[in-house]
Amino acid sequence: MQVFNYSGPEFSPYDDARETSDHEPGPWEAPVASGALSATVRLPGSKSLTNRELVLSALADSPSTLHAPLRSRDSALMIEALASLGTRIDELGAGEYGPDLRVTPGELAGGTSIDCGLAGTVMRFLPPVAALALGPVAFDGDQGARRRPMRTTIESLRALGVDVSDDGRGALPFSLYGTGVVAGGELEIDASASSQFVSGLLLAAPRFTNGLSLRHVGDSLPSMPHIEMTIQTLRARGVRVHTPSPGHWVVKPGLIAGLDVAIEPDLSNAAPFLASAIIAGGTVTIPGWPTTTTQVGAHLEAILPLWGATVARSSDGLVIDGGAGVVGGVSLPGIDLDLSEGGELAPVLVALAALADGPSRITGIGHLRGHETDRLAALAANVNALGGDVTELDDGLAIEPRRLVGGPWKAWEDHRMAHAGAVIGLAVHGIRIDDIGSTAKTMPEFPELWLRTVGAAPSARIDPLNLF
C-alpha cells in the first residue's frame, strides 16, 4: 500500500482558524432521531461540477448557461474571482433551484486579487487561468486556507514559465504575473496531496499554446473520479483529451465551446442525508440522482449497504432504506474501506463507523490532513472527546466500537465535519456543534434541510431554500 506523507504547511485542527472566516460561528444542538424517516430531500447542485463549469465557461469561445448551479460560499468565491478577471456572469430568472447563470467570457485581465476563502477548487483551479491573463494576480484566502498544500500549483506554474512570487512555504498567499500566454508542453508534477493540482492544469490547458502533456510522478494519486470529472467536462466542450497511461494526461490546444449545461445535485452532500436513514431508520429519497456520473458520491450506492442498508433506484430517485435504524436496535458491523477515490466522503462514513458495534478501518485518506482542516486529527479528536476510540494511522483512521456520550463537536470551519457531527447527534443525545455555519461552504441550506429531514412528516418533500 502506498502511504501519503503530508508535506504541506504545518497545521492542526486545534489552531484557531477563525480570524478571516466569513461568518460568525453558529452553535447548534444536533437533533436526535425521533422516529423512522420518510423524507425526500432535493439537494443543491454539485460544488465540483459548478466550479468546473464556471471555469470552463470563462475560458470558452462563446457564452454558456449553467442550469441549477450550486449557490454557496465556494461557488460565490469562484464567481467573484472570475468576474474580477474579466468574465461577465449574470443571473437568469428564478429556476427551480434559484437563478441559472449566464457566463459570457471576456478578455482575461490581471491587476486583481482573488479571495479563495477555504475553497480548494478556487485556489487550485484559478492560478493557471490567471496565468492566461495580462497583469499581476494575487491569491489569498482564510487563515485555514493558508495551511492547505499549494506547492505543486506554484511549482508547476513556474515550470511552465510563469513568474510566481511566494514566501517559500508552498502555501497561500502568493501572486503571479500573467503575460497573457502560457506555452504549455510537457510537465511532471507530484499530485499526491490533491487531485485538484491535476484538474486545475487540465482545465486551463486547451488555452495553452501547445496544450499540455501532464504526468503525475510521486506517491499515490487521490480522488481519481474528480480527475475523470475534469476530463469529461472538457470533452463535453469539444476539447481533445486522452490518457495514454494511468497518471498521464494529454490535452490538445484548441477552443473550449460554450455550453448549456445542467448541474447534477451534489452527491457527496447527499452522504449525511443517506446516513440519516441508517441511524434513524426508514427511508430517504434523493431525487435527480443521475443515471451515470463522475461524482464520487455515486460510490455511496455501493458503500452504504456495507452497513446493512438497502439502496435502490426508483423513478423518484435514489432511495435508502435503513430498516429500524440504529436507534431502533439495528447493529452496524465494522467495515474496512479504502477511500482513496472518495476522501470527501470520509467524515460522514467515519461518523457511521463510530456508531458501529465492530472495529473499522478507513484508509487511503492521508491527504485529508490537507483538507479544510486536518480531517484525520479532527475526526479522532471529536469522536474521542465523546468517549470514542479512534486512532490516527499514516493514511487513515482505526475506529474501535465504544458507547458515545453527548458533548461538544468542533467543526474547525469544515462543512463535512459539521455533517459528521449531525449524523452522530441523531443517535447520541447532547451533541453540540460549535459552528453549523461552516456548512455554508457547499450547502448553506444544511441546517434547515437537516431539521426538516429528521423531523419530516411522512413523504414530506424538502426543497432547497432560497437563502440569497
Ligand X SMILES: O=C(O)C1=C[C@@H](OP(=O)(O)O)[C@@H](O)[C@H](O)C1
Ligand Y SMILES: C=C(OP(=O)(O)O)C(=O)O
**Which region among 1-9, 27-35, 117-125, 312-320 touches ligand Y (by CB under 6 A)?**
117-125
Q: What is the DSSP string of 236-270?
A: TTT--EEEEETTEEEE--------EEEPPB-SSTT
Q: Which residues are catalytic?
A: 344
Q: Which grid cell is 383?
A: 469522536
Tell me the C-alpha distance between 168 and 154, whole Å: 10
Q: Which residues bind ligand X (CB under 6 A)?
A: 48, 120-121, 194-196, 199, 222-223, 226, 343-344, 367
Least CB distance to ligand X at residue 175 (A): 23
Q: Are 69 and 57 in contact (CB under 8 A)?
A: no
- Kindly report the three-state secondary structure assignment for every residue of 197-244: HHHHHHHHHHHCCCCEEEEECCCCCCCHHHHHHHHHHHHCCCCCEEEE
Q: Name 76's Cβ contacts closer than 8 Å, sequence gap at least 6.
A: none
Identify which of residues 120 and 317 has a Cβ nearer to ligand X in the complex: 120
What's the gap between Cα 369 and its chain centre?
14
Identify which of residues 225 and 388 has a Cβ nearer to ligand X in the complex: 225
Q: Are 189 and 198 in contact (CB under 8 A)?
A: yes
Reading phi first (left if > 0) and then psi (alpha if -120 to 50, else beta), residue 277 is in alpha
Least CB distance to ligand Y at residue 442 (A): 6
State whether the Cα torsion 87-205-126-420 is positive or negative: positive
Binding mask of the shown chain, residues 219 to 258, with x at each position contacting ligand Y by CB under 6 A:
----------------------------------------
**Is 196 one of the annotated binding-site residues?**
yes
Interactions with ligand Y, residue window 433-452 (CB under 6 A): 442
Identify which of residues 281 and 366 has a Cβ nearer to ligand Y in the complex: 366
Of these, 42, 147, 151, 416, which contacts ligand Y (CB under 6 A)?
416
Least CB distance to ligand Y at residue 300 (A): 14
Of these, 53, 264, 344, 434, which contacts ligand Y (CB under 6 A)?
344
Least CB distance to ligand X at residue 255 (A): 23
Tell me the C-alpha distance between 453 and 273, whole Å: 8
Residues flagged as binding site? 47-48, 52, 120, 148, 194-196, 223, 344, 371, 375, 416, 441
Residues that bind ligand Y (CB under 6 A): 119-121, 344, 371-372, 416, 442
Residues flagged as binding site for 3-phosphoshikimate? 47-48, 52, 194-196, 223, 344, 371
